[in-house]
A and B are shown apart, each in its own frame.
Chain A
Amino acid sequence: MPRRSSFLALAGAALLLVACEHPIAVVTPHAEIADLVFSDSASRVVVMRTTDNRAWSGAPFVMCADDVRTLVPQAIDFRGQSVDLVSRRDLEIRGESTQPNVVWEPLRGRGRLLALAPGTTRVRFLVWHLTHADLVSPWLEVTVLPAANCAASR
């Protein structure tokens, strides 16, 4: 009987704790991001960037089938300063594409854009903050050429 009372007391305490937990339990600083810049991981050359998060600058993004581009994303806040995406472990750059032939693979401080099959698709990036997006980029048009065409041009 004492064991049952203890169990009931514990269950009651657990229920009370759940009821008292804040619906939004974790508060981390909001990232007020204005723009995204992607650089090539090897050369550090800027490959593409947004302007006022309204449009992507630069030429259309072209890849070859089976190519993998490793990119280093940089988030720029409303003051024009860089947000450290490596130390901010609550932030992650996620990608969404309209077709499955291009996939974004997020890694710590960088990411890989995988061109799986030829075709044209649209990709956008989200600065994901634990449970929600602090920024959603405009759509970026990505063209994936057949591997044979790329080999010929090389």
Chain B
Amino acid sequence: MASQPVIRGLTGDRVLVLEDGQRTGDIATTAPDHAVTIDPMTARRVEIIRGPAGLLFGSNSLGGVVNVVREDVPAERVAKRLGGVLSGQGESVNNGGVAHAQLRGGVGALAWRMRVTWRTAGGSRAPQGVLPFSDVRGHDVGAGVALVDVATTSGQWRLGAAARDVISTYGVPGSFGGIVLPGAHEGGVYVDLSRRSARVDGSWRSNNAEVSNSAWPRLTQASVSTQFVRFEQSELERGGFVGTRFGQLMANGDALVQYTRRAGVPVRGSVGTWAQWRDFRAEGSFTGTRPGVMRSVAGFVMEEWSLDSLLGGGRPVRLQWGARLDAARIVPLDSTETALVRDVRTRAFTAPTGSVGLTVELRPGVTVGASAARAFRPPAIEELFSAGPHLGTYAYEVGNPQLRAERGTGVDLFARLARGSVRADVALFTMQMADFIYQRPLVDSITGEPVRDPRLRRYNVYQADQADARLHGAEGRVEWRVPRARGLIVDGTVSWVQGIQRAATGGTDWVALPAMPPLRTRTQARWEGRQWSGSIGLEAAAGQSRVPPAPFTLGATTCALEASQAVRGDGAPALLPAEFCATPSWALMNLSVGRQWVTGTRLHDVTMTVDNALNADWRDHLWRAKQVAPQPGRNVRVLYRWSW
């Protein structure tokens, strides 16, 4: 359900999603129907990390690193003995509601925090009707405690721990208006997931943060973080029958030391190590997915050199570079071969990666820069050893134990303008990926029809495969604080990406990469007053007709069906899978109005937003059910927040 971030056309395991700097331990990156177990209501802020700094978190961060900062382990002292936030939100499009409570407090160096979020929503309402099996409910409960800023002669240290429990149940839509997607269950599929995690963080910060004058590094900060996650997900058919069940234990940790030194110029750097153990297992009817254990270890270094003297005039020139060495070993716990997956064996991968970036302030307020990165991604356990139906993706997924590691090279050029009332960014990027891993639908070479699973003959069979790929695109953002109109801000963003891959037939042919976002823009005029605020915005996307050619000549050749055509006695797939279907353009109008006020020491905040105010019929190009189901219609949301 497109719950995963898509950055520059990359998603899944190519965009690293972190929570307070650590991996989430769920299986969201392995399939589009797997939810990210992070509730946006609980995020304090979201950081997007690109360039050499991304190497501190992983080797596969060509798309970027998304770090959701929740601060489960308190990071700063709390002045009040007890403070908190209570908030509630209701929305019309699905009769949904969210309640969130956060309490925090502290005495001296001891700080604590507790959070509870509860969410429920019914079926999502589109202009043509309610989308079946799109409801969701769940909760997120967590608590953390820490000793913060404990002073010693050399610096200050922090030590804390947190635990969290996330439970969610959500539907995976597969039909609308009487038309059922190929492989989807008419009775619907629900996903039950549970994630329990515990983490311990410790850090030390030197009293002296000045840049060292010595060639020898001087420590400024050190941190250690460890985490344990138990994750379980069941995909339920009608009647609560478990179709597929995934289970995973994950433990990971990292140690990072930050330092300064002088190499003719001031240098700030970080050096560290990271290790992860992941035990992934799957079971269910007809599921032959091999369980496996993946052990990964990495060492990394990143430095920033201040080359201000190069240009003179005190204008900042920064050179960043990073290097990382990763090793991963994947051991199957069951090496039994299946009809479609042979040679199940231990795989090991090792690769160095690196990145270098330069930013130069050409003149006050005008900065230009460039960066280049080399990335590496070993195949996931699921890509190597899957063999079974996946209810949520309407597919029978087959792994490929022969897969090689994916390698990528990316180059970015960017410029930033910050002058007067205008802020603007523009970036151009290109990425070359060798052995890009993707799911290839299998085709019967005799009939030209999709190959269907060997047991039920219900699902299209997809097998993990590799081909070289290229992506390039551009992004831009501009913000203008309108002079003499106090509080009025106009901003806009635009993003465009194109991706191609070498055709599966081989040779020199290149075809469009599936699931590439179309040209997309967002424009907004907003007014921010002392008590009142409001906005009006337009969000639009161009049509996307750059889709790969469908490999089938029979059995599935159309992207649109009337309900009367959809009934096939033998259950054969009739519609083309979403990745082969173009999507028309769309435009949405969004409105919002808010007011905040203070009573005593309490802050009240009310915001009403209207998304898709004109109730437009639109389809998200990346949604796997787009051939049959539209996106949500007009949605009125009211959020009230009370903090003290």
Contact = CB atoms under 8 A, between A and B. Distances in A.
**Is B truly associated with A?**
yes
Given A30-B288, A30-B290, A132-B284, 11 more contacts: A20-B230, A23-B231, A24-B281, A27-B333, A27-B334, A30-B336, A32-B339, A131-B245, A132-B245, A132-B285, A133-B285
Given A30-B334, A32-B337, A133 B286 contact: yes
B455 A135 contact: yes
A134 interface: yes
Contacts of A24: 245, 247, 281-283, 291
B227 to A, nearest CB: 13
Contact of A20 (B228, B283, B454): B228
Nearest to B228: A20
Q: Which of B242, B283, B284, B287 has the most CB of A within 10 A?
A: B283
Nearest to A28: B334
Per DSSP, chain A at the interface is: loop
A78 B334 contact: no
Interface string B197-234: 01000000000000000000000000000001011100
A48 B204 CA distance: 73
A54 interface: yes
A52 B339 CA distance: 12
A53 B455 contact: yes
A58 B287 CA distance: 29
Contacts of A78: 338-339, 454
Nearest to B163: A19
Interface in B25-80: none
Given A132-B284, A136-B285, A23 B230 contact: yes
B196 interface: yes
A31 B455 CA distance: 13
A31 B338 CA distance: 8
A2 interface: no
A21 B198 CA distance: 14
8 contacts: A19-B230, A20-B230, A21-B230, A27-B334, A34-B454, A78-B454, A132-B283, A134-B286
B326 to A, nearest CB: 25
A55 B337 CA distance: 25
Interface size classification for chain B: 20 to 34
A22 B242 contact: no
A52 B242 CA distance: 24
A78 B339 CA distance: 6
Contact of A29 (B245, B248, B334): B334
Contact of A23 (B247, B286, B290): B247
B281 A32 contact: no
Interface residues of A, number: 24
Interface string A1-33: 000000000000000000111111001111110
A54 B457 contact: yes
B281 A27 contact: yes
B249 interface: yes
A115 B58 CA distance: 63
A30 to B, nearest CB: 5
Contacts of A129: 283
Q: Which of A20, A30, A31 has the most CB of B within 10 A?
A: A30
B506 to A, nearest CB: 28
A93 to B, nearest CB: 15
Contacts of A54: 457
Interface string B396-434: 000000000000000000000000000000000000000
Given A22-B279, A23-B231, A30 B338 contact: yes
A131 B281 CA distance: 14
Contacts of A134: 285-286, 288
Contact of B249 (A20, A52, A135): A20
A95 B454 CA distance: 21
Nearest to B279: A22
A132 B288 contact: no
Contact of B196 (A19, A28, A30, A135): A19
Interface in A37-80: 52-54, 78
A23 B291 contact: no
Interface string B240-262: 00100101110000000000000
A78 to B, nearest CB: 4
B240 to A, nearest CB: 14
A23 B245 CA distance: 9
Interface string A108-132: 0000000000000000000001011
Contacts of B279: 22
Contacts of B281: 22-24, 27
A81 to B, nearest CB: 12
A28 B509 CA distance: 44
B211 to A, nearest CB: 44
A52 B338 CA distance: 15
Contacts of B457: 54
A21 B282 CA distance: 15
B442 to A, nearest CB: 16
B336 A32 contact: yes
Contacts of A53: 454-455
Contacts of A133: 285-286
B79 to A, nearest CB: 33
Interface string B457-470: 10000000000000
B283 to A, nearest CB: 5
Contacts of A32: 288, 336-339, 387
A42 B16 CA distance: 62
Interface string A138-150: 0000000000000
